[in-house]
Amino acid sequence: MKKRGVGIAAALYPTGMSGGGDSSQAIVKVKTDGTVDLIIGSCDIGQGAKTVLAQMAAEELGIGYDQVTVVNQDTDATPMCFGTFASRVTFVAGNAVVQAAREARSILFEVAAEDLEASPDDLVAADGKIFVRGAPDRAKTIAEVAGKANFAMRKLVVGRGHYMRNPSSPDPQTGQTDPFATLAWAAVLAEVEVDTDTGEVEILKLVTCYDVGRAINPLLAEGQIEGGTVMGIGATLMENLYPFYPTQAWQPESYHDYVIPTAADVPEIVSAIYECPSTNGPYGAKGIGEMTANVPAPAIINAIHDAIGVWITEVPVTPEKILKALEAKG
């Protein structure tokens, strides 16, 4: 017999290391043709760091995204980044990039101010130009300004950024601390069908909503949510990290032994992005990377309970576990 159920899970997730202290650095170099090198140590492992960090630099400098070259191939030649973990890169490295771009922009404004006969505070960078606020005809291209800085004034148009949230250690008397830079929120609804004869679980639909703070790149955010959702399905129903625990004599050595979801296992996924801007993230952004893989599991398990009335308390939820639980229930 096949029975259907619905389950909901809600979660919160911090950005960066709990307690702070993790830092990232960035360098922004404006070249004489108006293009920019963004030099970072942050590693892009598929989450889109190169894209969103380049977007931030371009936004601050008033140039196109395609005019930014991201340099991060070699950690010996790039500034420090604590690493791609804790859903921290957009938030921590992003703040560093914004700082660096603003410092580079301030140098451009100082150089342009004389020619435009205006205070640097009255200048704006947009559309590849620097112009006087309220007087767009009084303008110089960024290439012209960068060229003058280099060849006429012998200035380096280089900005530096370093972001690190201050460490917050627990008070030894009270335990009070400031653990999180910011919190993101999520909710997932799962619809499942459970075969009580075989123990098999089919996920029919997942509806997800994630608070990203501010979606720097909505398409990338949606892709990350959907990718994390599929990873969550694998962790919930298929992936066994310790199949013969506590005996470690055998471990999976290939994808023949370690099963992960394929396209055929992906159900209908409805993704919603909710924006509740962080007060200290770049443009209000928060980190959502790991959270997207964590929330599906409790929603799916709650749906299984709704369908057949048994709780499975260990992942992966295999047919054997469901049949044993049903047998114990009687």
Final residue belonging to a domain, choices 129, 164, 199: 164
Asked if 145 and 259 sit in the same domain, the reply is: no
* 193, 290, 314, 320: the active-site residue: 290
pLDDT tens-digit profile of 267-291? 999 999 999 999 999 999 999 999 9
Final residue belonging to a domain, choices 107, 139, 164: 164
Look up the pTM and report it.
Answer: 0.93
Residue 220 lies in a domain: yes
Query: For the chain, what percent of residues have pLDDT higher than 90?
Result: 87
Domain that holds residue 288: 2-15+180-329
Mean pLDDT, the chain, rounded, equals 94
Residue 169 lies in a domain: no
Residue 171 lies in a domain: no
pLDDT tens-digit profile of 71-91? 998 888 999 999 999 999 999
Residue 209 lies in a domain: yes
Asked if 263 and 324 sit in the same domain, the reply is: yes
Residue 173 lies in a domain: no
Residue 170 lies in a domain: no
Asked if 273 and 192 sit in the same domain, the reply is: yes
Name the pLDDT band for 248 (thresholds 50, 70, 90): low
Name the pLDDT band for 246 (thresholds 50, 70, 90): low
Asked if 119 and 37 sit in the same domain, the reply is: yes
**Type and span of the H or E element at 292:** helix 291-294
CATH code, domain with 106 = 3.30.365.10
Instruction: Please compute the mean of the pLDDT values over residues 128-157 and round it to a whole number.
Output: 97
Query: For the chain, what percent of residues have pLDDT higher than 70?
Result: 97
Final residue belonging to a domain, choices 130, 164, 198: 164
Name the pLDDT band for 165 (thresholds 50, 70, 90): very high
Number of alpha carbons in the 13 Å side-chain half-sphere of residue 5: 22
Residue 172 lies in a domain: no
Instruction: Please compute the mean of the pLDDT values over residues 6-13 and round it to a whole number.
Output: 97
Asked if 205 and 269 sit in the same domain, the reply is: yes
Handedness of CA 104, 110, 111, 116 (dihedral sign): positive
pLDDT at residue 204 tops 80:
yes
Percent of the chain that is helix, strand, coil (3-state, to 5):
35, 25, 40
The CA-CA-CA angle for residues 14, 235, 220, to 5°, reads: 55
Instruction: Please compute the mean of the pLDDT values over residues 226-240 and round it to a whole number.
Output: 95
Asked if 191 and 313 sit in the same domain, the reply is: yes
pLDDT tens-digit profile of 17-65? 989 999 999 999 999 999 999 999 999 988 899 999 999 999 999 999 9
Residue 115 lies in a domain: yes
Asked if 148 and 184 sit in the same domain, the reply is: no
Known active-site residue 320:
no
Asked if 319 and 222 sit in the same domain, the reply is: yes
**Type and span of the H or E element at 39:** strand 36-40
Per the structure, how many domains does the chain have? 2
